[in-house]
Amino acid sequence: MRQLWVCVPAPVVWPMPEISIQQSPVPLLQVSGLSLSVGERTLINDIDCVLKKGCRTVVLGPNGAGKSIFLRLLCGLMEPDVGSILWQGQAINSAVRRCLAMVFQHPVLLRRSVAANLNFALGNAGLGAVARRQRVAEGLHLARLQALASQPARLLSGGEQQRLALARALITRPTVLLLDEPTASLDPASVQAVEAIIESAHSQGIKIIFVTHDVGQVRRLADEVLFIHRGTITEQTSVAQFLSSPGSQVASDYLAGRLVL
């Protein structure tokens, strides 16, 4: 699984300097009193949680529980009504945002070639032409798309598109990778390829936070579970603990495949 990274031409130094996560005693992420409503509907309801670096966190919960919105809030794509999100003690600002990368369930690809899509992500990195070319080559290698570098990205298969989206996120050298159901509707081989990339990113020290409904994937990829129901985190525990003895009836029903309302 790590073989992909072994072949990357340049040494990869992932963490960005703005929030030097390795040395700090402050938790990687601290969420306090986070709430978000749209009209009369409460989507996120007073969430508090602390996430540490190193472990892979999966956000679980039934459809409509607020998982994707929670992820978007963490990435700064949405503003909460109240509450705070502190990454390494800092509120979300442009420096913090540069350390976060997000990949969506349906990859958003530009109407450009595969290589141009990768190059586009480096727009804010302040890199010279040589460094950019090197990062693009890294990305192509990581996504195993070297042979398709000049092809239009939108002609790729679903699995290839998701690998490209992941590689595009990773060549920006984020500290945290947020993934919203990255393998939904992919075939098993594509799922394996995407998981290999996620696993290799984790092995490079990148914090992984992802949403999935695939319990097998939870076993393979995650260390810690955040279970969300009706916009509230009802459980934060280890994967082993959650799968063997979930702490609530709702979580038990979810794992048993019973409809959770």
Give residues with Cβ within 8 angstroms of 117, minimum separation 6. Answer: 109, 110, 153, 164, 168
The alpha carbons of the chain give a radius of gyration, in whole angstroms, of 18
Dihedral, CA of residue 18, residue 24, residue 27 and residue 30, to nearest 10: -40
Give residues with Cβ within 8 angstroms of 259, minimum separation 6. Answer: 253
54 binds other proteins (CB under 8 A): no
Find tokens 């490209």 and name the residue. Answer: 164
Fill in the per-residue mask, 175 to 214: x = in contact with other proteins (CB under 8 A), - = not in contact. ----------------------------------------
Q: Which stretch binds other proteins (CB under 8 A): 126-134, 151-159, 212-220, 250-258?
A: 151-159
100 binds other proteins (CB under 8 A): yes
94 binds other proteins (CB under 8 A): yes
We find the least distance from the C-beta atom of residue 68 to other proteins, in angstroms, to be: 11
98 binds other proteins (CB under 8 A): yes
Compare residues 136 and 239 and give the one whose CB is closer to other proteins.
Answer: 136
H or E element at residue 200: helix 188-203
How far is 159 from 33, CA to CA, in rounded Å? 37
149 binds other proteins (CB under 8 A): no
Fill in the per-residue mask, 106 to 145: x = in contact with other proteins (CB under 8 A), - = not in contact. --x-xxx-------xx-xx---------------------
How far is 112 from 150, CA to CA, in rounded Å? 9
Q: Return residues touching other proteins (CB under 8 A).
A: 75-77, 94, 97-98, 100-102, 104, 108, 110-112, 120-121, 123-124, 152, 154-155, 169, 172
